[in-house]
Structure formats: C-alpha cells, structure tokens
Amino acid sequence: MRKQLASNKQEFSAISKEHYDVIVIGAGVVGCAMTRRFTLQGAKVLLVEKASDILEGASKGNSAILHTGFDEVAGSIEHQCVTKGYQEFLEIRHKMKLPIMKTGALIVAWNAEQEAKLDSLKTIAHENGVKDVEQISALKVNQLEPNLASCASSALHVPGEYVIDPWTTPYCYLLQGIEQGATFLRNTQVLSGEYENSQWTLHTNQGVLSSDAIINCAGLYGDHVDQLLIKQSAFEIHPRKGQFLVYDKAASELITKIILPVPTKITKGVVVCRTIFGNLLVGPTADEQESREDTGVDSESLKQLKTQGEAILPALKHCPITATYAGIRPATAQHDYAIKSYPEQRYISVGGIRSTGLSGALGIASYVYEQYLEMGYKHVEQSWYSWPSASSIAQEGERDWQKVNNGGVVCHCELVTKREIEKALTGPLAARSLTALKRRTRVTMGRCQGFYCSAALSDITEPYFDEPIASNSNDN
C-alpha cells in the first residue's frame, strides 16, 4: 500500500507540470468515450477520476443493451446521441474486437391497454429512422419465444437491438485514448477550481492541475461539480436505483430476444434478457432515493422482481439465481440529456445521462466535441489510430482457457485463467481492486461467487492491489 501511494504521488507530480487542452472529470462510460474522441481529434486530454478505477459510479450497473433509439423523443439530444453512438459502435466494434450478441427485442403487450400503445410506439420508431420495427401477433410472439407466458396479446419486434459487454467496451474506449496520448489519473477528486486569464486551475486532493477547458462527466455528482466550479447547474440529480437479478447460465436458453415491457413516463420497465456472459438478467427496478452511494439491494424489491420475471417467463421458477446487484442512474427532472455549454468559461456540463448512457456514449462524445469547436477551439486530427482490444470475457467466441500456456483456470465458474488475471493487473488501466478485476475478467462472478477461487486469487493479486483481499473474501 505504501509503495502504491508513493507511485501515485510520483505520477501526479509529473502530470501536474503539464498544461492540457481539456480536462475531463469522471471516468464512467461517457468520460471514457469523451477522452477517446477528443484525443483522436488531436487535443491533449487529461481524464481525472476520484475512485481507484473506471466505471465505479453509475456505469458499473446496467442492462448492457445497445439501443437503436427507436423510442426516444425525435430531435432530442438523447435521440441524436443514441442514434450516433449506436452507429459508431457498429462501425468500430470489429477493430476493437468488442463482443456483441444480436438478439433483437420484443416490446410485449400483456393486456389491451398496453396493446393500444404499440401503434404509436411503432410510429415513433419509424419517425426515428428505425424502419424495421413491426407489430406482430400473439401467435408470432409465441413462435419466436415459446417459453414466454401465454397471455401476451401482441408485441413490437425491434430486430436491431443488441446485447454488448458493458465493461470491456468503455475499457477499450479509454485504452485507445491512452495509446493515442491521453492521460488518466485515478484517486483524484476535484475540490475547487477557477477560470482566470483564459485558463482553468483545478485544485484536487492530490494537487493542482491546469487546462484550457473543462468537460464535466461526473455522472451522479455532475450537478455538484457544476456548482463547485461554475456556481450554477442546469440540472439537479435525483438518484434512481435499479436492482437486478442474475440467473444461472442454464436460464439463458429460455429466450433468444430482449423482452421489454411497454414503457412508462418514469421508466423503460423491467427487462428480461440474456447477457453477453451467458446468464439471464431480470431488472431493473426504479427506486427513488436520496443517496448517491447506496447500491445495496433489498429482499422485498428482489422478491417483486422475481415475481415479475416469472410472470413473463414462467420457467424461471425452476432456475437458480446466482447474483443480485444494483446500479444508480443519475436521473433529473428533464426528459432529455442535460448537456450545456458555457463558452465564456470554456466549460461543458454533461449531465442526466440515464439508462441509455452505454448506447449513447460515443454519440455524446461527438455531440460535445461539436460544442467545443463552437467555442473556437480546433486541433489537428490524429493521422493514425491504434485499435486496442481486451481479452474476450463473453460467453461466445474463443476464450483464453482454450489456448495453451494460460497458467491454468483459476475461476472455474467463469473459466478465468491465471494469464488473464495477470494481464488485467498490469498496463495503463491495471486493476487495483477486486471489483476492478471482476470487470476485466469476471473472476468470482459465477455460481460460487468466489467461494472456491478466492484463496488462489488472494495470492496472485497481493502484490498489485491497493488493499490485499483476504483468502476467504466473498466481495461482491
């Protein structure tokens, strides 16, 4: 631990001597995509994160669906960003070897009231450019998904929806930015700042940083950072917790598509879908709360989720639940992303990025870069791009356990090898905690939740983690 702290101080000392074109605050999926976009466009970028790893806030818990944007409000910022993000992801995924599972989605109506809303949803989808959305009969629903409850009255079929990896994806975004010259600082919390003489000075818990412009991607604390730096904010975060159930891998054989409810004004509702890792997911809830940190789950909400899931997919009654988790969405009173530019202060606030943040991240980064250009900035776009890729942790495709000299399988539930673990512990985005290592490899996230592999894992990670894990750890 002392050695790590010394390393952090040395790293910060070198970085603090530099002046940056842009400092991005917050290393969620949007901050990672933002750093990538600005770096590729030629800006000198520093990304700062108060936690010890990327994706420690709202980005760590979501349903991992790549949305077409079929149901967004036409012309809204969210619609623009989700559409652009969806397109760019499909353009670059092969180059980064990002896993993807084309499932399509069914928005299922379970009664006459919900069915009456399908036609308007289809109209919205077509107006949004998603022309392949069609309404299908109850008979067709049953043919596509025979394990669904028989009371479905009809559905909208959205062929273009996908399931993706919610952790490897932003990891590769940031890794590309770093390989192109961006800098990343962990454990760095912004305390105050001022804009004087066309320059930002940020005071952090580690020291002082400087830049020409600031982009606030602080997620759940976005409004706080706005108030801290520019003494105003165009939005106020109202934390909304989403709790999830994760079923054993055998349950994923029950369906092939993403099963969506008819959405309400408050939430897109409870989803039943497969994950890229071979499990089946039910959730999220939509629980309003004051805390921006409390990601605990409660038995009553999980019980309700289980009941809802079984009502949709009755065979789930016979499937074991292997994990539960919760994420917090940075909801606001607005029904759109709260992205606002403050040209006189060279500051852009990126707030209210809710459940579509994973889908919209690349589009949000492009949208914000256009606002940045309107401030009068312009850089020379980089002439070449590296295309990094991470170890595949998806269920499909070749995995490291199938290759030679991998050091053996450490986590047998998720088939994670010693080589994969050691790779994740090194490099510019090295995992420094068990939660970070989970997102890189899925170690301890299977049926036994780390019961069998924690001792071996403790030995492997002890020289690398900020705080060594106990041999009997079952950290979730």
Closest CA relative to residue 182, chosen from 73, 5, 39, 299 = 39
The whole-number pLDDT of residue 471 equals 42
Pairing of strands 347-351, 162-164: unpaired
| Average pLDDT for the chain | 93
Q: Which residues contact 161 (CB under 8 A, 6 or more apart)?
A: 65, 66, 67, 68, 103, 104, 105, 258
Q: Find the angle CA(82)-CA(86)-CA(90) to the nearest 5 degrees.
A: 170
Which of 61-65, 260-264, 360-364, 413-417 is the least confident region?
260-264
Dihedral (Cα; 78, 81, 82, 85), 10-degree rounding = -160
* DSSP string of 459-474, one letter each residue: HHHTTT-SSPPPTT--
Considering the chain, what percentage of its residues have pLDDT values greater than 90?
A: 88
Q: What is the largest CA-CA distance in the chain?
A: 68
Q: What integer pLDDT is reported at residue 13 of this predicted model?
A: 83
From the list 46, 6, 5, 1, the residue with the least C-alpha distance to 26 is: 46
| Neighbour-count burial of 164, counting CB atoms closer than 10 A to its CB (0-12 exposed, 13-18 middle, 19+ buried) | buried
Percent of the chain whose predicted confidence (pLDDT) is above 70: 96
As given in the structure block, the two tokens for residue 263 are: 């959405």
Specify the pLDDT at position 62.
Answer: 86
CA 303/CA 306 separation, integer angstroms = 5
Lookup: tokens for 304: 């309700």
Per the listing, tokens 């917090």 go with: 328
What are the two backbone dihedrals, phi and then psi, of residue 123, each rounded to the nearest 5 degrees? -60, -45
Query: For 375-449, where are the alpha helices, taking DSSP H only?
Result: 418-424, 434-441
Per the structure block, which two tokens stand in for 390? Answer: 């991470």
Angstrom distance (rounded) from CA 338 to CA 30? 13
Quick one: pLDDT band at residue 268, thresholds 50, 70, 90? low
Length of the chain: 476
pLDDT of residue 265: 66
Q: What's the whole-model pTM score?
A: 0.95
User: Using an 8 Å Cβ cutoff, are 71 and 125 in contact?
Assistant: yes
Number of Cβ within 10 Å of residue 279's Cβ equals: 22
- Residue-range domains of the chain with CATH: 2-60+167-236+334-374 (3.50.50.60), 100-163+238-329 (3.30.9.10), 400-461 (no CATH)
Report whether pLDDT(96) > 80. Answer: yes
Other Cβ atoms within 10 Å of 232 Cβ, number: 12
Q: At residue 396, what is the residue type? A: E
